[in-house]
Amino acid sequence: MASKGAPSRKKSKGYYSKKGGMTKKGVAKYRKDNPGSKLKTAVTTKPSKLKKGSKAAKRRKSFCARMSGVKGPMKDSKGRPTRKALALRKWNC
């Protein structure tokens, strides 16, 4: 029996962005596979362009607060940014 950990490279082709996070295609597939899910794509709008107190601004602030506290390196052993670093950059944290 296979574990439900990280998806294999072949299965996840096109669902995850190399710049961090899931693509629209990936979110659509997740919502199809998990009915009732409220997963959304990243808030990539610059903080200065977001209206203060808007839903998007609150989602971004919440994500940044949670993800910034996650333990782990920002770069791997080869000096490349980790998935954590890419996600934080994409969300403008």
When divided into structural domains, the chain yields a total of 1
pTM recorded for the entire structure: 0.73
9 within domain boundaries = no
77 within domain boundaries = yes
Q: How large is the average pLDDT for residues 60-78?
A: 93
Answer whether residue 58 shows pLDDT above 60: yes
b/e per residue, 29-45, with b = 16+ CB within 10 A? eeeeeeeeeeeeebbee
Residue-number span of the structural domain to which 51 is assigned: 24-90
12 within domain boundaries = no
30 within domain boundaries = yes
7 within domain boundaries = no
6 within domain boundaries = no
3-state secondary structure of 75: strand
Answer whether residue 1 shows pLDDT above 80: no
Q: Percentage of the chain surpassing pLDDT 90?
A: 56
3-state helix, strand, coil in the chain (%, to 5): 35, 5, 60
